[in-house]
Amino acid sequence: MDTHLYTGGALKETVTAGSLKTKVCVCVCVCVCVLTPQKPGGGPVVVQGNGKNTASEKLQRVRKWSITTYKCTRQALSEKLGRGSRTVDLELEPRLELLKDDRQRYDHMTKLAQTLANQLAQFTVTQKTLGDAFSELSLKTPTLHVEFGVNAEAQKFLSKSGETLTAAINSFTSDMNTLVNKTIEDTMINAKQYEAARIEYDAYRVDLEELNLGPRDTVTLPKLEQAQKDFQSQRERYQTIRDDLSVKVKLLEENKVKVLHNQLWLFHGAVAAHSLSCHHFLEQNIRQAGEQLSDPSMDAPSWLEES
């Protein structure tokens, strides 16, 4: 089997019109032909070629994409300038705006909670270190053994309870980050796709309206029929994306309420448990310290009394 390869170069031609020179560049595609070997007795040579013109298909796709991009850009600019009409879904778009606002507020709340957890973690480390310092002084100072001991126990307990609260707040921020940056963000990505489909739909709608206002003749009728087909295709695509997004927003709203209900009660419970445990411990700690300090045997005689 023989393979013959022909590679055409780029043909350049200069066209002169008055003082204007235009350079035309024609690209010649590479053509690969496969020849079957000729039979010994002599026979026809069969040339097998590719029936598909891939270059032409790619050119058509690029041309279609370019036209669509131009129409969408023109539509978006006309809307921003207040000159063009746009399709408004009175049920879906307000819910998307509310969701966008909620996402910003939830993100701000989550960042504040994370800041609180970080500061509380540093606070508990300082409390634990201070408690260790009180314990050491309690052993080295017999006359103030009770006072240093009470403060050492209090700081160590508060530090341990603070660590529990910090872990609870970190769990809260982790779940909130999942809700804000994954669940809601995924819906917002779909909302951007919906907005792009809406602009594309409006662009083809405007083109169809302009053609309907123009004259009807043998030249415009084929364009009008094609515009009607393109408009119908874009309309079906827009409605499909809109319906899917509407269902997704409804499910997100229900899931959001459930997640926030559980997380907010867990957060409140952790703060309440931390405060109550610290309050009970400090009350008990002060009562025990008062009993020890009221014991007469704990009071050492002064040097004046001894003398």
Q: Quick: pLDDT tens for 229-280.
A: 988 999 999 999 999 999 999 999 999 999 999 999 999 999 999 999 999 9
CA angle, 42 as apex, 39 and 45 as ends, to 5°? 70
Write out the two tokens for 10: 């780029």
Distance in angstroms (rounded) separating the CA atoms of residues 111 and 89 = 33
pLDDT at 297: 55
Res 41: pLDDT? 52
Longest dimension (CA), the chain: 143
The residue written with tokens 């879906």 in the block is 92
Here the contacts of 8-16 (C-beta below 8 Å, separation 24 or greater) are none
Q: What is the pLDDT of residue 167?
A: 96
Find where tokens 């364009």 sit.
Answer: 223
Q: How far is residue 200's CA from residue 306's CA, in Å, rounded to a whole number? A: 100
Three-class DSSP category at 258: helix
Boundaries of every domain in the chain: 83-293
What residues does 80 pair with on adjacent strands?
none
Distance CA 280, CA 25 (A): 89
DSSP annotation of 144: G
Amino acid at 277: S
Q: Could you tell me the CA-to-CA distances from 252 to 20, 95, 129, 246, 260 in Å, in that order?
A: 62, 11, 46, 10, 12
Distances from the Cα of 26 to the Cα of 11, 14, 42, 86, 133, angstroms: 5, 11, 39, 42, 86
Give per-residue pLDDT as tens, 70-99.
888 888 888 788 887 888 889 999 999 999
> Inter-axis angle of helices 92-140 and 145-178, to 10 degrees?
160
- Note whether 33 and 4 are within 8 A (CB): yes
CATH code for residues 83-293? 1.20.1270.60
Whole-model pTM over 0.75: no
